[in-house]
Amino acid sequence: MNKKIENKDLWLLGANVAVWAVVLLVLPLATFLSTRDVTTIGTSFLVALRQFQSSIVVYFVNFYLLGPYLFFKRRNWWFVICNIVLILGLNSRFFLFYFNRPNIPHVHHMPGMDSRMWIGVFSGFLMFFVLNCVMAAIAIGIRHFVRIRQIKQQLKEEKAKNTEAELAWLKNQINPHFLFNTLNNISSLTQIDSDAAQDAIAQLSDLLRYAMYETNKKMVPIDGEINFMRNFIDLMKLRCNEKTSINAEFNIENAQLEVAPLLFISLIENAFKHGVSSNRPSTIDIHLEEQADQLVFTCDNTNYPKNDTDRSGSGIGLENTRRRLELVYHGRYEWEQNITPDNIYHVRITLKTIQ
């Protein structure tokens, strides 16, 4: 954020320096050419210096006051009137300067000098009036670009805040979701094996600790996610019988890899929800591996869709995962899902780990 602010300040400073450099180069020459018949080079320089002061006033009054409070609020007539009054008032100094200069004695002694003087003064006045109008326009133009940049930055920050809020909301949906399923499993287990139920409760405690305290960041270390998935799979196995075959492999060499927290848990949960039958053979095959600059997650499970009245594990499912992928990995992920001819549901997510 500080770099962005510095870049914006440098851009504004550069624009102002460029404008005033051009004015300083052009103004003395233009002043001398318009008044060369009625004054000296030194006087022309003094006139240019005074006009430079006037241009500074016009520029910054428009940049900080008339632009923001009149022009950009569509008070156009007031903007025009205020600028005319301001510029005419400043240009009146041009006449006062000429008529009060004691070092122009030749004006009253050279034949035909009165008319030439008035033409020179008028042309100088007109030139300065146009120049100040140009300075006002330049000030409004630069202010407009600054305003557009500020609006874009505000929209970008608002979008980032909205994205963070949506990600937090999606993650908050996941936590009670897997908790609901796990408690159901432990509840059933207490009636069969109380010792195993106590171990399951300890595992659940670890899961909750991770979900509550380790997933507040946008990205988390991959090893923590793997441990979470292992524990979750162990707990979900509690609901499975001997007809269910479960295989989970995690092949990650780079422990420094990071991933969005709880990204794959809905897919694993979905596999247990729709891939396990109480009376038919069931398989769940989960793989997470590192391939070059990619992280690849695959999950294959037998497909036993639940009916509408079955509310076990009901919740967010795949929609949550896809939305989080779009928010966190926009343009850096691939999603593949299908049902094979032998009724195996397949889902594959490929993440680019290098931006």
User: Is position 148 within any domain?
Assistant: yes
- The whole-number average pLDDT for the span 321-334 is 89
**Residues 26 and 108 both lie in one domain:** yes
**pLDDT tens digits, one per residue of 143-183:** 888 888 888 887 777 776 666 666 565 555 555 656 666 66
Residue 335 has pLDDT above 90, yes or no: yes
Query: Is residue 180 a part of any domain in this protein?
Result: no
111 with 202, same domain?
Answer: no
Kindly state the average pLDDT of the residues 45-69.
79
Q: How many domains does the chain have?
A: 2
pLDDT value at position 32? 56
Cα→Cα distances 248→17, 131, 206, 233, 276, Å:
64, 76, 19, 8, 15
One domain, residues 60 and 109? yes
Q: Is 241 found in the same domain as 141? A: no
For residues 207 and 273, membership in a common domain is answered with yes
Least confident of 35-39, 176-180, 266-270: 35-39
Q: Which of 157, 183, 204 is the last residue of a domain?
A: 157
Return the SS3 of 238.
helix
State residue 261 phi and psi, 5-degree precision: -65, 140
Does residue 225 carry a pLDDT above 50?
A: yes
Q: Is the pLDDT of residue 91 over 70?
A: yes
State yes or no: pLDDT of 108 exceeds 50.
no
Average pLDDT score over residue span 27-45:
54
Task: Say if residues 339 and 303 touch (Cβ distance below 8 Å).
Answer: yes
Could you tell me if 228 and 271 lie in one domain? yes
Q: How does the average pLDDT of the chain come out, rounded?
A: 76
Give the domain extent around 264: 192-352
Is 166 part of any domain?
Answer: no
Q: Does any domain span residue 87?
A: yes
Provide the pLDDT for residue 20.
65
In this model, does residue 327 exceed pLDDT 80? yes
Q: Would residue 219 count as lying in a domain?
A: yes
109 pLDDT more than 50? no
Residues in the chain: 355
Asked if the structure places residue 201 within a domain, the reply is yes
Quick check: is 138 in a domain?
A: yes
What confidence score (pLDDT) does residue 131 get?
80
Boundary-marking domain end, from 157, 175, 203: 157
Question: Residue 58: pLDDT above 60?
Answer: yes
The answer, yes or no, to whether residue 297 has pLDDT greater than 90, is yes
What's 295's domain CATH number?
3.30.565.10
Percent of all residues in the chain with a pLDDT value above 70, rounded to a whole number:
62
**Are 273 and 335 found together in one domain?**
yes
Question: Are 145 and 208 part of one and the same domain?
Answer: no
Q: How far apart are the first and last CA of the chain?
A: 20
Last residue of a domain, one of 104, 136, 157: 157
Please give the Cα distance from 312 to 251 (Å, whole number). Answer: 31
pLDDT in tens, 237-255: 877 888 899 999 999 988 7
pLDDT at 49: 65
Please identify which residue in the block is written with the tokens 């930055």.
153
The least confident of 119-128, 218-227, 275-284 is 119-128
Specify if 313 maps to a domain.
yes
Full DSSP string of 193-232: -HHHHHHHHHHHHHHHHHHHHS--SSSEEHHHHHHHHHHH
What pLDDT shows up at residue 288? 96
Q: What is the pLDDT averaged over residues 18-40?
A: 58
